[in-house]
Amino acid sequence: MEPEDSNPDFITYEDLKHEFGESMFPGSLYLYSKEENDFRFKLRKYAQDEIAPLVPRIEKEANFELCLDAYQKLGKAGYLTLSFPKSIGGQGKGYVYRTIFGEELAAVNSAVVVTYGASANLFAAPIIHFGTEEQKKKYLTGIMKGEILGAIGITEPSAGSDAVGGMKTTAIKKGDKYIINGEKRYITNGSRADYILIYALTNPKAAKKHEGISAFIFPTDTPGFERVKDFDLAGRRGSINSYLRFKNCEISADNLVGGPEMENKGLKIMMSGLDGERCFTCSQYVGIARTAFEIATKYADKRVQFEKKLREFEGISFKIAEMYAKLEAGRLMMLRAARMLDDGLNATKEVAAAKFSCANYQMEIVVDAMQILGGIGYTKEFPMEQLLRDSKISQISAGTVEILKFLCQREIYQAFKK
């Protein structure tokens, strides 16, 4: 009997990988400028040459060290400077470029892109927009070089979707210090970060809780900081997601983001970054969905059953068409939101709609892609089961699909009042 791996009817992932690329989506190129497309193709080649070889071990071993290595490679190659102001050595690119970056990285590996996102976006953005000049110089230079790893600390055991109302972590001022007590949970990069952009109650007695929140740059070498545990995640293997505790952690008042005038104004900082964060997460969903779509379409063109290619069966061909439509619809919604944000417009409604649509489309595309592959899609011969595990969190993190739908309809009705 002929061994399976030499059987021409046995299609492997390696057989298909070299066929992926921009030729699959020529129509998408018209949505972007030449400069944007040039950036995409340069980054795509870099990701395939430098990041992709690390991916099998990152996934198989849940290897954060290799994930961090990929992050540092991006820093050395200059990619981490993408969205930082030119005034501090960045490229000054906006949200559209971030979505291109997120899509191309996620198409290769989701663990690397969330490690990047938590550090160079979520940690850095509040400092970019609200930090003092001293804070920008002190903390952002290392982030841009990949020498410092950042994280953002919002979610708590009692504060998930209700991030403000359920917040219990406090930062009480004592002279020129703040004493922090509390817990943060599901913090990407948390246990390995050098600094965490943490939100805490500086006025727990405020009549309206949102009027008593502040943002701080927290050094993780501070005494009293405890890494309770890292969660063993279903997907995004290789990334770090942590449960953290703060016991009488004393930090300098200089670490208050924006200086003294921003005390108790942390909600403004928090909310300013949510639309940008959610727009960026859409790009991750598009990237993963694109990979699943590429695998399924190529497989359906090669796999033969009943003397016909799979794509010649209506049940399969209709799935392919619907997957493509969902992928491109998600991209269009994401890109509209990103361009609005780049123009300084309020895009909460558009971002919310893009976020829950891209998240749901991603899951549907990956599930259909696995169905097209059949039995082999349920094995580890192909990365489909990994993409499925990596996808589910999209409907939960950075705002659940339910919360995003609530925000979307709220914005619709608020427009009626104007």
Can you give the three-state secondary structure of the chain, one letter per residue? CCCHHHCCCCCCHHHHHCCCCHHHCHHHHHHCCHHHHHHHHHHHHHHHHHHHHHHHHHHHHCCHHHHHHHHHHHHHCCHHHCCCCHHHCCCCCCHHHHHHHHHHHHCCCHHHHHHHHHHHHHHHHHHHHHCCHHHHHHHHHHHHHCCCCEEEECCECCECCCCCCCCCCEEEEECCEEEEEEEEEEEECCCCCCEEEEEEECCCCCCCHHHHEEEEEEECCCCCEEEEEECCCCCCECECEEEEEEEEEEEEHHHECCCHHHCCCHHHHHHHHHHHHHHHHHHHHHHHHHHHHHHHHHHHHHCEECCEEHHHCHHHHHHHHHHHHHHHHHHHHHHHHHHHHHCCCCCHHHHHHHHHHHHHHHHHHHHHHHHHHHHHHHCCCCCHHHHHHHHHHHHCCCCCHHHHHHHHHHHHHHHHCC
Predicted local distance difference test score (pLDDT) of residue 21: 54
Q: Per-block average pLDDT, block size 10, for the chain (418 residues)? A: 47 66 64 93 94 94 96 95 92 95 96 95 93 94 95 92 88 96 97 97 87 96 98 95 98 96 93 90 96 94 94 96 96 97 94 98 98 95 95 94 96 85
Distance CA 68, CA 240 (A): 10
Predicted local distance difference test score (pLDDT) of residue 179: 98
Predicted local distance difference test score (pLDDT) of residue 19: 57
CATH superfamily, domain at 30-145: Acyl-CoA dehydrogenase/oxidase, N-terminal domain (1.10.540.10)
Report domain extents, the chain: 30-145, 150-265, 268-411
Amino acid code (one letter) for 372: I
277 is catalytic: yes
Intrachain domains 30-145 and 150-265 with the same fold? no
Residue among 104, 183, 277, 350 flagged as catalytic = 277
At the top level of CATH, the class of 150-265 is: mainly beta
At the top level of CATH, the class of 268-411 is: mainly alpha
Predicted local distance difference test score (pLDDT) of residue 327: 96
Predicted local distance difference test score (pLDDT) of residue 295: 94
Among the listed residues 261, 284, 313, 279, the one whose alpha carbon sits nearest the alpha carbon of residue 130: 261
Among the listed residues 105, 210, 196, 202, the one whose alpha carbon sits nearest the alpha carbon of residue 151: 196
158, 243, 248, 256, 349 from 182: Cα distances, Å:
11, 11, 9, 17, 33
